[in-house]
A and B are shown apart, each in its own frame.
Chain A
C-alpha cells in the first residue's frame, strides 16, 4: 500500500520528489484540496471511504501515517 499511496501523491503533485521520508504537510506538498483529492483516490482505487470526521491533520504527515489511517478505517469498517 505504501507504493500505491506514493503513486497517488505523485499524481497530485508531480513536480516534487516524494518518498517515505517526505514530510507532506511540513514541506507544503499536500494542501487541503490535495488532501480531499487523495481521499477521493483512496476511495476509488482502494475501495476505502474515509469520512471527513474520522481524520486528523496528523494522518497526512507522511506516507506511513496515511497508510495507517487507511488501515485503521478499513478495519473499523469491517468490524
Chain B
C-alpha cells in the first residue's frame, strides 16, 4: 500500500453528519455486510464517514476519488482507488457506494450516467445542513436575537453522552421563537455580513446579533480552504429571499468564483513519518496557519465586521462580537510561549479594532483547558458537552445582557 495518508485531522464531528450517517447505516447495514463498500470522496466528510464506520464495527471498506493524485494513497489505512475500480465492482453487483461528498449532485450525476441506480447501487447520506440553515433563516421571523457562528455550534465529540449541539442548546435556553442560531462551518465575517443584511431587509431587524470573530477566518487566505464558500447555500437563500440588491448579487458571484478556485485540498505527509509524527505535524501546521500569523486589521473579515456594525447601528441593532475558545494548552505543547505571544498579539489588535468601532469584545479565548475540547488535541474551537454547557451560559447571558 502506498503511504500517503489523505485523512483530514478529525477530533470533533458534525452532529448533522453523524445523524445523516446513522440514519443511512441503520437502513442499509445489511447491504454493506453483504457487499463491498466504497466511500466516494476522500476528503473531510469521507474521513468522517470512515471514522463512523469503524466505530460501528465496519473496517473493511475502500475510498474512491476523482482526483488521480489520491489513488496512490489511503485514509487511515483504507486505500483510495480510482472510479474505474469501484464502478467495475458495483456494476458486477459485488459492491455499493456511499457518497460522502458534500455537494453530491455532481457525483450523483456521474454515477447515474454510468447506469447505476440510487438507493440500490449507490447511496447518499446528506446532512441537509444547507436546508437546515435556510429553514432557520426563514422561520420565526420576529426573532429578537440572532447568533452567527461556525462549526462551534454544530460539532460534538464522539464521546459525548449528550449529543445536543451548541445551537440546539442556545435555542432551547433562549426559546425557539425569540432566537435564531445561524451557523455554518468555515464561514467568515463577510458571509455573516451579507446574510445578516439580507435577513434584515427581508425579515426585519432583531434586537441584537452575536457575531463570531474567529481567527481562522482572518488569515487573508481563509477563502482558499475547502468548505468555506457554501455557494449552494447562498443560492438557496437567494431563491428564498424576495428583496435583493446589487451588493448581494455581487457577493453571490464572488462566492461562486472562490468556490471554483479553492487552493488547499488536503494535507498529507511524507511516507517516512510515523502516524504520531504525521498527526503532530498536521496539528502544528493547522495551529500555525490559523492562529500564529500576523493579523492585518485591514483584512477582509474585520473590514466586513466594520460594515456589519455600521449597518446594524443604523438599524438600532446591538452587535456582540465574540472570540471562540482556543486550545491554548495544545498550542503551548507544540510551540511553547511562541503560541501565546503570537495569539495574544493578534488578540490585542482585535481588541483595539473593537475600540475603534466602539464595540466590546466577548473574549472566550482562554476559558477552556484541553479537557473541554472534543479531544485534548482538537485544533479548532470544537468543544465537548462540558464545554458546550459553559459556552451556552455565556452566550445566553450576554444576549440577555445579564
Which A residues fall within an 8 A CB radius of B?
11-16, 27-29, 31-34, 36-37, 39-40, 44, 52
* Residue from the set A13, A33, A36, A44 with the largest chain B CB neighbour count within 10 Å: A33
Complex Cα spacing A29 to B4, Å: 11
Q: Which of B248-256, B284-292, B351-359 contacts A (4 or more CB under 8 A)?
A: B284-292
Residues of chain B within 8 A (CB-CB) of A11 are: 288
Leading 6 A-B pairs by shortest Cβ distance: A33-B267, A28-B270, A32-B264, A15-B277, A31-B268, A44-B294
Residues of chain B within 8 A (CB-CB) of A37 are: 285, 288-289
Q: Do A52 and B224 have beta carbons less than 8 Å apart?
A: yes
Q: Do A36 and B224 have beta carbons less than 8 Å apart?
A: yes
Complex Cα spacing A52 to B277, Å: 29
Complex Cα spacing A52 to B221, Å: 9
What's the minimum C-beta distance from A2 to chain B, rounded to whole angstroms?
A: 21
Q: Do B269 and A36 have beta carbons less than 8 Å apart?
A: no
B162 within 8 A of A: no
What's the minimum C-beta distance from A49 to chain B, rounded to whole angstroms?
A: 9
B66 within 8 A of A: no
Interface residue SS majority, chain B: loop
What's the minimum C-beta distance from B235 to chain A, rounded to whole angstroms?
A: 24
Complex Cα spacing A44 to B221, Å: 14
Q: Do A32 and B266 have beta carbons less than 8 Å apart?
A: yes
Q: Do A33 and B269 have beta carbons less than 8 Å apart?
A: no
Q: Do B267 and A32 have beta carbons less than 8 Å apart?
A: yes
Complex Cα spacing A27 to B269, Å: 9
The one of A12, A28, A36 that contacts B263, using a Cβ cutoff of 8 Å? A36
B265 within 8 A of A: yes
One digit per residue, 1 when the CB lies within 8 angstroms of any chain A CB and 0 when it does not, for chain B 268-304 equals 1111110001000110011011000110000000000
Residues of chain A within 8 A (CB-CB) of B285 are: 12, 33-34, 37
Complex Cα spacing A34 to B396, Å: 39
Complex Cα spacing A15 to B221, Å: 26
Complex Cα spacing A52 to B268, Å: 20
What's the minimum C-beta distance from B337 to chain A, rounded to whole angstroms?
A: 16
Give 28 CB contacts A-B under 8 Å.
A12-B288, A13-B269, A14-B281, A15-B270, A15-B272, A15-B277, A16-B272, A16-B273, A28-B4, A29-B270, A31-B267, A31-B268, A31-B269, A32-B264, A33-B264, A33-B266, A33-B267, A33-B286, A36-B263, A36-B264, A37-B285, A37-B288, A37-B289, A40-B219, A40-B221, A40-B289, A40-B293, A52-B224
The one of B268, B270, B277, B289 that contacts A36, using a Cβ cutoff of 8 Å? B289
Q: Do A32 and B265 have beta carbons less than 8 Å apart?
A: yes
* Residue from the set A37, A39, A52 with the largest chain B CB neighbour count within 10 Å: A37
